Structure 1
């Protein structure tokens, strides 16, 4: 090897070491998930969470301190000294029980004052069984209502919950506080239930939080204070205004809507170079250090597969970025050799440009333009109209793929499209983030795309992805917000063919939810797309009951389609039972494909059994 070549090798190695060092040290400048050294970072939360005294890590960080922060830390220090910094699980459990009150101590019983027994949407539901079910769902708002104790406002440092002045409707189960994007469907459900005051109060809560934090955190806990969720505040306000025409509310709060939009513009956008042009698009991107407090043990343990602290912090950041998307977790955020394979250690969500986030950002800009026009603010109307136009161009140029017939997420690392099915691949139809003068073109492409995916073979809903990863935002799980986005994306086009397919997907979803409710007397956060009435699984925790956004979506579908929905397929005399509309105009039907799929599965199972018997 020549001296020059040796020098070059040394240079490359030195640069690699410096780059690695910079990466591993960059995390040190990041803030923790929140400032609390009880609930977010420090030796106390580490000791308690790693002792595994609760099956769910979220339980501890939802507990209230009985004493002041200083006294709590003093008691913790005493325990550590007595145990030579190695307390047993039992000793940690005693400390927690003596120093904290149970999770849920921040609430008082609350029944929404504006709840009514027979909201108007029930009159639209002609089938008596579905109407009775709708009435029971309306009743669930009373059980999901929460109001904070005055002590939360007086002594906020003793709680992890973020104080809000108005009562809230929570998702249910382990989710004892509000969640940002859940609340969009909850609020729409409340509006259909004519609970206008409760809906207004929840939106006003978000306004106060934006004023305090500059954005809306993932959920109503301080440990969510460094990440958000899909920005749906402006669409919430739009939903509220469409029903109430409360322009004074808009006038009082327009500046806050603009403030939240500015957060996303300043903190969650990046530049993408394509075909000689530079486009600005949004991504999810948590910028804090440390494990998620609500999943501390799980995150810390899984991070041990990484060698350096810097690598671990990058991993923690990707976990929180995926949580910001609402899809925690999914193969959608895996990047391994340019594919969506791998596991949680391959999370790279901060390097992916998601379709629906950018469709929602466009929607926000259009709504802010509309709101400012309504208020006579011409300059701001022009400003947000221009942003919307720029966003539409970027979404079209970077995310739309004519050869595929859909919008696709973009991989920043590998500079390529991610050609994998998600219901959100058609979400620009939902927010009108496309050239509506070319609607016929887009509809033709998208309907062919949906046909190719074979998603209509699933009898109980549309799966989140087609990947079998074991994560909860993957196959076969079907989630209410994604059913809604797919259904409304098709329906919003106004095209008769699209609307018929939208109805078919809505019908399957309603029937599956109804069957599950009849069998278990419960509404779930997620369902199994392959089993009528089956609830979902996978992920970090057991399937949760309640459930806020599930109820909201069903109530809206009952209002929209209740005049023709039935709880099961109806066969008329002398005819075959209805098998559902075909996505393809050429007669591609879900029932026939489903039957073939089931037959092939059975044959494969028999062959596998036979082979196993021969081998044995």
Structure 2
């Protein structure tokens, strides 16, 4: 399916101004690459620059045109130009050094953490919320044409380092950590910022930048609302968010994302896929995308590649061999032709959440509709994605030589039998909505657990993302906090003592590697190398980042769930 224009209620004038600034900043990005070379060059920095208060876009564009006429501008010339016409990246965010709901040691904080070393570290991680909490400057709403940052009504928690704005799926694990830290109002602010984006654009953007209005990210807003409600019982908050949850569900059920597939029994199922509304280089990585596309000869082939790159960014797994026909060649990305296990898990969770909230509110019509939708998606996941030989759920690959319309006939050889951590994410559905029928019954959960144990994904420092070491950051040997957390929560809510023990073992490995890396570097990291305790991860199109929102949230969640006894070693085991 060809990409369409971003669904936005923003006025045409505002959109034109945003695009004009982006176009200018992408030219700045290209010139900076010419001046600096690829070493230590981060293209995202340049599209995050706000215009200086005494500069105009027209003057900046004219001055840039003069630079572009030079054979190669020097680093000094480039730096002088940027200093003259732009403010520092991130300066349009205001630090909130003392969030009103932050306490250095909240009452009731981690009562099961007895180890002095573990507790001191946990308080350090808790204190990072102060360093990562921001507000969008009022100047952004007053003069949006000068910023790629989008105005938001409440406080945000940024992931850290190069990520200077709020991100969608990161925010779920940030909120989980904030709830451990008793920072309920900050958690609500983050969720309501995302609600605001749904109200304005029709969906939650990948992140709060004008260059992210063409795609979303793994849809976890309903899970944020659910967990905040379970912690606070705040029905006013639920009523405020509820219409946006229904609206977001419509976005993921639209023709852009919905796929109809007929199983071997003649039943037609609706499942979802990632598909960005974009066929140009991503502004935040334009120079990188253009370099890859230079291998392609036709304009049409380049546009298809750009569409797949943006669709992969929507998945949150940017990048991984999971989305490539050839894991050595980025131009073979085929994400919009894949029905992902985890995406459909998240949407089923969304449907269960909406049914739950509608019942709370008293709208039984919507509650029953979404309860039926969740059951239908459950059947679809089991019919299309479950593989009984491997005892895992597998991504399903659609044919790329057909137009993405109509109904596809299910074929068993279209399941991707390569092992990824995402194959086990449906276990997470067992961790929520007590009283409902479990997504995975106990006998099946034990079989899935055995499959996980034999998969090769379990490593000394956590769960690997895949078994393929491709140099991509969502591949081996990297482990990511969200994947550890979802699989651990799913195993933990089992009647099987062995599954619960495995959950605690995985969490222990993850806590230890995070702690050891923190003691060695003084930082929490975006990802970790699961082959070696205490080693941060690598690979991908940017340098490894610290901060780090979702790593902080998962560590606090694991310490709350499992505690840490005094006699248990917190660092890497010998």
* TM-score, normalised with respect to structure 1: 0.83
- Cα distance in 1 for partners of 2:424, 2:6 equals 36
| Residue matched to 1:238 | 226
Q: Residues 280 and 220 from structure 1, CA distance in 2 versus in 1: closer, same or farther, beyond 3 angstroms? A: same
Q: 1:115 aligns with which of 78, 102, 105?
A: 102
Question: 1:497 deviation in Å?
Answer: 1.5
CA–CA distance in structure 1, aligned partners of residues 486 and 566 of structure 2:
19
- Answering whether residue 30 of structure 2 is matched by residue 49 of structure 1, we say yes
Q: Which has the larger radius of gyration?
A: 1
| Cα distance in 1 between the residues matched to 2:54 and 2:363 | 48
- 2 CA distance for matches of 1:72 and 1:380? 48
1:80 to 49, 65, 68: 65
Residue 533 of structure 1 is matched in structure 2 by 534
Structure 2 unaligned blocks of 5 or more: 9-14, 401-410
Distance in 2 (alpha carbons) for counterparts of 1:136 and 1:180 = 25
Q: CA RMSD of the aligned region, Å?
A: 2.6
Whether 2:353 is the aligned partner of 1:367: answer yes
Instruction: Pick which of 47-56 and 278-287 moved more.
Output: 47-56
Q: Any idea what the Cα deviations from partners look like across 1:415-466, whole Å, max 9, x if unmatched?
A: 511112222212212114997387133123212211321333x211111100
Q: Is the 8 A contact 1:464 1:479 kept in 2?
A: yes
Report deviation, 1:32: 12
- Is 1:280 matched with 2:266? no
Quick check: 1:188 aligned with 2:169? no
| Counterpart for residue 510 of structure 2 | 509
Written as runs of structure 1 = structure 2, the 5 A alignment for 1:328-407 is 328-336=318-326, 341-407=327-393
**Structural mapping, 1:22-171, within 5 Å:** 35=16, 36-41=18-23, 45-46=26-27, 48-52=29-33, 53=35, 55-66=41-52, 71-77=56-62, 79-80=64-65, 84=69, 88=73, 92-111=78-97, 112-119=99-106, 120-171=108-159
Deviations 1:97-143 (A, max 9, x none): 32211101102231211101222233220111101111111111111
CA contact (8 A) 1:39 1:293 kept: no
- For the residue of structure 2 that corresponds to 1:524, the secondary structure is coil
Calculate the TM-score normalised by the size of structure 2: 0.89
**8 Å contact from structure 1 (residues 507, 565) kept in 2:** no
**Distance in 2, Cα, partners of 1:133 & 1:509:** 14
Aligned to 1:445: 447
Tell me the equivalent position of 1:323. 313
Kept in 2: contact 1:410–1:417 (CA 8 A):
yes
Q: Does 1:215 align with 2:203?
A: yes
Alpha carbons of 1:358 and 1:167: their partners in 2 closer, same or farther (altered >3 Å)?
same
Looking at structure 1, the residues matched to 305 and 395 of structure 2 have their Cα atoms a distance apart, in angstroms, of: 21
8 Å contact kept, 2:491–2:502: yes
| Displacement over 6 Å in runs of 4+ | 31-34
User: CA 1:386/1:565 → structure 2, altered by over 3 Å: closer, same or farther?
Assistant: farther
- Asked if 1 retains the 8 angstrom alpha-carbon contact of 2:425 and 2:483, the reply is no
Q: CA offset at residue 382 of structure 1?
A: 1.0
- Match for residue 263 of structure 1 among 241, 251, 258: 251
Distance 2:30 2:166 in 1: 23
Q: Aligned residue pairs: how many?
A: 541
Q: Is the 8 A contact 1:461 1:529 kept in 2?
A: yes
Q: Using a 3 Å threshold, how does the CA distance of structure 1 residues 455 and 253 change in structure 2: closer, same or farther?
A: closer
Deviations 1:504-548 (A, max 9, x none): 000000011111111111110000000100000011111111111
Q: Unaligned 5+ residue runs, structure 1?
A: 1-22, 572-576, 580-616
The 5 Å alignment of 1:560-571 reads 560-564=561-565, 568=569
